[in-house]
Amino acid sequence: MNFKFTIINKGREISTDMSAEQTEDLKAFERRLTEVIDKLQPTARLWRMVLIVISVCTAVGAWTWLWDSQTKQISFAQSLLNHPFFTISCICLILLFLCGIHKRVVAPSIIASRCRQVLTDFNMSCDETGKLILKPRHI
Confidence tier at 43 by pLDDT (50, 70, 90): very high
pLDDT at 45: 96
Q: Which domain holds residue 82?
A: 52-99
Average pLDDT, the chain: 87
Note whether 92 and 111 are same-domain residues.
no
Given a cut of 50, whether residue 19 has pLDDT beyond it is yes
- pLDDT tens profile 84-94: 999 999 999 99
Asked if residue 36 belongs to a domain, the reply is no
Q: What is the number of structural domains in the chain?
A: 2
Confidence tier at 2 by pLDDT (50, 70, 90): very low
Asked if residue 130 belongs to a domain, the reply is yes
- The secondary structure of the chain as a DSSP string is -EEEEEEEETTEEEEEEEEHHHHHHHHHHHHHHHHHHHHHHHHHHHHHHHHHHHHHHHHHHHHHHHT-GGGGTS-HHHHHHH-HHHHHHHHHHHHHHHTTHHHHHTHHHHHHHHHHHHHGGGTEEE-TT--EEE-PEE-
Asked if residue 135 belongs to a domain, the reply is yes
Asked if residue 47 belongs to a domain, the reply is no
